[in-house]
Structure 1
Amino acid sequence: MRIALSADHAGYDLKTLLLEWLTEQGHEIVDLGTNSHESVDYPKYGAALAAALADGRAERGITVCGSGIGVAIAANRNPACRCAQVAEPVSASFARLHNDANAIALGARLIGPEMAKACVTAFLTTDFLGGRHERRVEQLGEC
């Protein structure tokens, strides 16, 4: 799977860990930065993730900041992105099952590497249920 990956400075370490781990699993990663601990503005990285989904460079996206909240808000400004901030795998699964989320946001200051991997695994391996959820997802594009 082609996965876009972005982070601000607070999420840099977790992004780097996920990039290596996902690459080892055979995924193609579109690395959107940041690439250091130097302070940056998180909206740029949430927007970059959404743009990669909108233009087809990636099928799914993962973005990381300190809490996961800021990058999720930024990503969701783009109507092509349905980004859910998650902190455990059940929410990551429901984001896919019911909301057809194409991105997740993780909080590097809130969860550790193993929980992040569990969230990503749930996100990448869960399919959208469709059915009654389809019309609701379509309505999201109209908001």
Structure 2
Amino acid sequence: MAKIVIANDHGAVELAQSFVDYLNKQGYEVNHLGVTSNDSVDYPDMAELACKEYKKGGYEFGIVCCGTGIGISISANKIEGIRCALPQNSYAASMAKKHNNANFIAFGGRIEYPQEPIEILEAFIDADFEGDRHQRRIDKMMALEGTC
């Protein structure tokens, strides 16, 4: 059974729970590290928690959510080895996996998406990394960690 790690702050409690419910119904083992109340927490802490857990191994990918998805995705991308996408639709979610081999996907609980967030997540899950020239680009991208 594939495992997914998910974390969220107070700005995405309902959205994160909808992902947990959906993934459980799809047969995934979900490790939900996020909050379940509207009490304020800091999204960098949630990103760090999920990414550190993911890096222990055994997870297919991770999901992070905050009010907009922006802060938590930026935070996740600060962690070595993480490629967190913040797609605006299914096409972008699919391409995040196909071309960038994203291992995290971010969403905003306060964002009005043009389609259901579950559909965007499905596109990410259903996509496969295409490798080849894209791997070369990912290698270059990851080589930027710790530079400058």
Q: Deviations over 1:75-126 (max 9, x none)?
A: 01112210011121111001001100011100111136x6210111011110
In the TM superposition, residue 53 of structure 1 has moved relative to its aligned partner by: 2.1
State the match for 1:27 in structure 2: 28
Q: Identity of paired residues, percent? A: 36
Q: Is residue 72 of structure 1 aligned with residue 52 of structure 2?
A: no
User: Does the CA-based 8 Å contact 1:53-1:81 persist in structure 2?
Assistant: no
State the match for 2:47 in structure 1: 46
State the match for 2:4 in structure 1: 3
In the TM superposition, residue 21 of structure 1 has moved relative to its aligned partner by: 1.1
CA distance in 1, matches of 2:82, 2:143: 13
What TM-score results when the alignment is normalised by the length of structure 2?
0.91
**Gaps in structure 2 of 5+ consecutive residues:** none
Number of aligned residue pairs: give it.
Answer: 142
State the match for 1:132 in structure 2: 133
Equivalences for residues 91-130 of structure 1 within 5 A: 91-111=92-112, 115-130=116-131
In the TM superposition, residue 35 of structure 1 has moved relative to its aligned partner by: 2.2
Deviant stretches of 4+, over 6 Å: none
What TM-score results when the alignment is normalised by the length of structure 1?
0.94
CA distance in 2, matches of 1:40, 1:56: 26
State the match for 1:85 in structure 2: 86
User: Does the CA-based 8 Å contact 1:87-1:110 persist in structure 2?
Assistant: no
Aligned CA-pair RMSD:
1.2
1:104 alignment partner, SS class = strand
In the TM superposition, residue 24 of structure 1 has moved relative to its aligned partner by: 0.8
CA distance in 2, matches of 1:30, 1:91: 25
Aligned amino acid, residue 2 of structure 1: K
Stretch moving more, 92-101 or 52-61:
52-61
In the TM superposition, residue 133 of structure 1 has moved relative to its aligned partner by: 0.4
User: Does the CA-based 8 Å contact 1:53-1:80 persist in structure 2?
Assistant: no
In the TM superposition, residue 132 of structure 1 has moved relative to its aligned partner by: 0.3
State the match for 1:15 in structure 2: 16
CA distance in 2, matches of 1:47, 1:86: 20
